[in-house]
Chain A
Amino acid sequence: MIIVIDALNRDRFSDLVKEMFRLRARVFRDRLGWDVTITDEMEMDIYDSLDPAYVVSLDQDGHVVGCMRLLQTTGPHMLADVFADILEGEPPLRSSQIWEATRFCVDTERLSRGSRATNSISYVTSEVMVGAFEYGRDAGVLDAVAVIDPVMNRVMIRSGNAPYDYIGKTVDMGKAHALAALLDCSNERIDRIRTHAGIDGDVFLSDAEALSLSERGKALRTESVKSDLEIYCDEQIANATTAKERVDALRLKATLVEKIRSRTDVDA
């Protein structure tokens, strides 16, 4: 599911924004080897301080599994500056009806390689795109110029979402390359992506829904701390030197399991 985070609601979603910056660090520095600035394991640049809009995909556990950053091309944006090499010194496009999409990525560690499951790379890639195009379309935007890497380009081509053209040239960003693709924010494209990925209905979460999904996810993850407890119990069992110690350790574990199970039942 998609939540659009911008400067109007960003303070409500600071945890999700941090998680998104951490995902970006893993993708753009670790996987693609782009020359990006990392602070506290988070990838952020000056464009993040210019009040962009983020299209963020959350999985069922409230994790950030995909994201994209949007800026107007009438104002400061990356192709005008950082990615100027792509345009070979040419001035960038400027229109209130063209937005720039950058830092488009999905979490390939958390997502599966299958094709149609909602937790697959291709589904989440498509979902982020549908979210961005519908958000843009409703804002009166007709096209997007997206700075992407060649792998993302291939995923898009295979998801019924091939760019209709490219501008400038592909440039070296370190281990991987970057290129600028043109995509129309049209209903035809949105329908094509939706059909291909099997996305039905509204992809957008309200602020309240996104918050509750994120909170629920956090609560679930806190419960996984119990696996540390479990490790402790197992260690106690393994390290027991006498029969009594061993029985006590087994009893402790059984009691804890029972208590935790009954709590989960109550929650359910």
Chain B
Amino acid sequence: MKLIDLSKIPHSDDRFARFLDDVCQSLEFDHASYATFNPISGAIQGFANYRTDWIMHYTRKGLHRIDPTIHIGRKSIAPVDWNRLERTPHFQSVFNDAPAFGVAARGLTVPVRGPYGDVGLMSVTRDCSDQEWHLLKKKVIGNLQVAAVHMHDNVMSSDLPMAALNLPVLSTREREILQWVAEGKTQQDIGDILAISHRTVEVHLRSARTKLGALSTPQAIGRAVGLGMIKPG
């Protein structure tokens, strides 16, 4: 998966919208959106690449206050397929008008929980058959998890007090493994050197990438070097 790295883009207003476009492009969705409850102000902040008239309609009617994909989705630890949501009056209020704006009710919300009680929700939609939807979910769900946490962490750190809290804290093992990767060792080599399984190496790398807000291991190394956590290889 090749997604644009949000932290590399200058802090412009449209970088989050561009990331959502990128998610749709690379993971084959029609639309993507992201919403978060700011843990400090309590406000709901969001980004979406839906048609402008739908966003206007949604905002004007204050649908974010009742949208079950946000308010129910946030309570799950696993991605919530919208077909699991009960067809409550709130669901109807949000989705009855949606088709007129080109928005399908076939979607999925990926909840991300942050360490300070912050929650972010990345939702994606696609108008397609059951079969196609099922296969697509299976294919992209892992990448969607990575994209969702990347988006969430970057939105959180665009908020100054949260940015101060979110400085990456790597474990000794994670630093050690990043250092070996920087020096050109493979995961198998590193497993042998540290006498741990290569899957353990992968787990620590995955965690280090998340903590450093990186989408790839080279990005993670660059950032760790930049922060003085490891030495250049």
The chain A residues found within 8 Å of chain B, CB to CB, are 6-8, 51-53, 70-76, 80, 87, 90-99, 135-136, 138-143, 164-165, 167, 182, 184
Contacts and interface: CB of A to CB of B under 8 A. Distances in A.
Contact of B210 (A7, A95, A141): A95
Given A51-B77, A135-B78, A164-B199, A98 B206 contact: yes
A84 B76 CA distance: 25
B91 to A, nearest CB: 13
B96 to A, nearest CB: 22
Contacts of A7: 75-76
A52 B207 CA distance: 21
A79 to B, nearest CB: 11
Interface stretch (B12-20, B51-59, B111-119, B181-189): B111-119
A169 to B, nearest CB: 13
Nearest to A136: B78
Among B119, B141, B148, find the residue whose CB has the most chain A CB atoms closer than 10 A.
Answer: B141
B79 A139 contact: yes
Interface of A: prevailing SS:
loop
Interface of B: 72, 75-80, 84, 112-115, 117, 119, 138, 141-146, 148-149, 169-173, 196-197, 199-200, 203-204, 206-207, 209-211
Contacts of B211: 94
A138 B112 contact: no
A70 to B, nearest CB: 6
Given A91-B171, A165-B196, A74 B142 contact: no
A143 B76 contact: no
A97 B113 contact: no
A76 B77 contact: no
